[in-house]
Amino acid sequence: MIDFKEIIAKKINNIVNLDETNIYNNLEIPPKQDMGDYAFPCFVLSKELKKSPQIIAEEIKDKIELDKNISEIKVVGGYLNFYLNKEYFIKNVLNEMAEKNENYGSSNIGNGKNIVIDYSSPNIAKPFHIGHLRSTVIGNSIYKIYKYLGYNCIGINHIGDWGTQFGKLIEGYKRWGNEYNIEENPIDELTKIYIRINNLCKEDESVLEDCRNNFKKLEDGDEYCVNLWKKFKELSLKEFERIYDLLDVHFDSYNGEAFYSDKMQEVVDILERKGLLVESEGAKVVDLSEQGMIPCIIEKSNGSTTYATRDLAAIMYRAREYDFNKAIYLTSYEQILHFKQIFEVAKMLDLDEKYTSNLIHAPFGMVQLKTGKMSTREGTIVKLEDLLNESITRVKAIIENKNPNLENKEEIAKQVGIGAVIFNDLYNNRIKDEVFDWDIMLNFNGETGPYMQYIYVRTKSILEKAGYIPKIEDVDFDLLNNDTAYKIIKLIYSFQDTIIQAAEKYEPYIIARYLINLAQSFSTFYNENKILGEEKKVQDTRVYLTYAVGNVLKIGASLLGIKMPDRM
């Protein structure tokens, strides 16, 4: 597809002494359509040229020749406003759509590059609650976005299957295991044990010490502790898989913390060899005071390892195994300091800068209840499976009320219910905190997943009634030269750029908001223009535009991890 911004940047570059990339990055899209398609702020040149932006804009305008790409240039308050040749622009966009169809917006910019994405990562033997939803759906979307841009993606579910909490669970099971049926209802029963032993630890320091010793035994390969840990893990993963199936989320690796238990010593050895490990209250730490951070603990005073040690071992393993160009970590912002620490320590290991300079932490805000923060220890959680099933149930009720004869009701309720939950999570900047509220989560009006799905279903219905998708040769591009149609064409043109922006910023919400904008724009077009039953040339053109909108909505939704129903 033609990059019209690049064409404009070249034209300006031929006239002024400013780097073409700088010009390209400064080009803006005007706030109103009647102000043109692109605008260049001449303020960036006024200091160097010692002239007012208005005079600079006039001088540049006089030197640029109009051609098949640009039909008009206007000077507005120090801005150069460029108007594209609409018919040529529309033809270019829709020809690209006809050529790529269901691959529209895809790219090969990532060919030959490996991206490791670490996301979801629930803790074994703890409920998969709505707090895990964010990491799961944001990470899944980033995985799909990068893959669509041609990258080779490796999705890793770094399961929390190691650490002192397992010492606690083992201790609780030793004391009260026969009171709980963990085979039948593993997560709930293990959670009860965890809450109970945690409360006992608060009352009795010696119990907490027993728990720590259990974990040390687990690290040392104690048969009883290892077998019990394996049992907890197998039962938990089976439960988690049911939730991943509901969300249609899949991983390339389930290597969790325990996988690195035999790989951590290398981290310790390298740091010791380089004289970077120092003792602090019996623990071994890396001093990060020069970097403005507290010490990074590598080994606890009892000799057991830490999250940091395991994450550092994981970085070394992933660099060797996957030769990554970028490693992205999706966790809550509570772990910002942790990742700053391990990324600094990673620079001290025997790793190429190619890897250590491309470690990315993409933090996200917390999901909280109206009553405050969720806590497994306190038993204040909302299970994700319950949330998803409740959403599906509510959609079923709406279908029964509004369209009881709808075919495939179960599958559609699942697509809309789960889509609503995912879209709600991805519609805002990931760093923003979310207060969990059923009414907000399952609002089926306005800027929501169900609205986007509804507009898609409308495009499908129009195509079904028409009975065909016109050939691109039958499209009269001039018939789309009106404000509502042109706005849609411009949005379709910007789809690939939207995907690239979402990838660069690790922000699926950029795509989510784009899709709502496209859906609303098509709704306006639909209300203002009769699509079926018009003169053949008009119908062909409008039906093809309808197809193009539906195609982009479906692709965009898939990049968010949302399935589109054919009917609603």
Contact at 8 Å (CB) between 422 and 448? no
Is the sign of the CA dihedral 494, 500, 505, 511 positive or negative?
Answer: positive
Task: List the chain domain ranges.
Answer: 4-84, 114-368, 384-560
Angle at 440 between CA 503 and CA 436, to 5 degrees: 80
List Cα–Cα distances, 117 to 135, 355, 511, in angstroms.
11, 14, 19
pLDDT in tens, 428-476: 899 988 766 666 666 667 889 999 999 999 999 999 999 999 999 999 9
Residue bearing the bigger pLDDT, 314 or 382: 314
pLDDT in tens, 15-41: 997 889 999 999 999 998 889 999 999
Which range among 115-124, 140-149, 442-451 shows the weakest confidence by mean pLDDT? 442-451
State the pLDDT at residue 305. 78
State the pLDDT at residue 77. 87
Give the span between the Cα atoms of 16 and 510, in whole angstroms: 33
Three-state DSSP string of 305-319: ECHHHHHHHHHHHHH
State the pLDDT at residue 165. 87
Say if residue 375's pLDDT is above 60.
Answer: no
State the pLDDT at residue 17. 79
Residue 65 — left, alpha, or beta (φ > 0 → left; ψ -120 to 50 → alpha)?
Answer: beta
Say if residue 380's pLDDT is above 80.
Answer: no
Q: In which element (H, E) is residue 157 found?
A: none
Contact at 8 Å (CB) between 212 and 100? no
The alpha carbon of 270 is separated from its chain's Cα centroid by a whole number of angstroms, namely: 35
Contact at 8 Å (CB) between 324 and 116? yes
Proportion of the chain above pLDDT 70, given as a percent? 96
CATH superfamily of 384-560: Isoleucyl-tRNA Synthetase; Domain 1 (1.10.730.10)
Residue bearing the bigger pLDDT, 69 or 435: 69
Average pLDDT in the chain: 92
Relative to beta strand 283-286, strand 277-280 is antiparallel
Q: What is the mean pLDDT of residues 158-172?
A: 90
Say if residue 4's pLDDT is above 80.
Answer: yes
Say if residue 374's pLDDT is above 60.
Answer: no
- Nearest partner of 88 among 198, 189, 7, judged by Cα: 7
Q: What is the mean pLDDT of residues 203-207?
A: 91
Q: In which element (H, E) is residue 450 found?
A: helix 449-466
Contact at 8 Å (CB) between 113 and 154? no
pLDDT in tens, 387-431: 899 899 999 998 998 888 899 999 999 999 999 999 999 998 999
Say if residue 97's pLDDT is above 80.
Answer: yes
State the pLDDT at residue 371. 62
Sequence-separated (6 or more) residues with CB below 8 Å from residue 265: none
Sequence-separated (6 or more) residues with CB below 8 Å from residue 384: 128, 129, 130, 132, 133, 243
Tokens standing for residue 29:
């899209």
Contact at 8 Å (CB) between 364 and 434? no
What is the radius of gyration, based on Cα positions, of the chain? 28
Among 258-272, 417-431, 503-517, the range with the most confident prediction by mean pLDDT is: 503-517
Res. 379 pLDDT band, cuts 50 70 90: low
First-to-last C-alpha distance (Å) of the chain: 34
State the pLDDT at residue 272. 94
pLDDT in tens, 170-201: 999 999 988 998 888 888 899 899 999 999 99
State the pLDDT at residue 125. 85
Entry pTM: 0.92
State the pLDDT at residue 378. 54
State the pLDDT at residue 562. 98
Q: What is the mean pLDDT of residues 245-263?
A: 94
State the pLDDT at residue 300. 87
Proportion of the chain above pLDDT 90, given as a percent? 77
SS3 label, residue 183: coil
Q: Which fold has domain 114-368?
A: Rossmann fold (3.40.50)
Res. 49 pLDDT band, cuts 50 70 90: confident
Q: What is the mean pLDDT of residues 332-337?
A: 94
Say if residue 234's pLDDT is above 60.
Answer: yes
Sequence-separated (6 or more) residues with CB below 8 Å from residue 154: 114, 115, 116, 117, 252, 253, 322, 324
Say if residue 206's pLDDT is above 80.
Answer: yes
Provide CATH code, domain 4-84: 3.30.1360.70
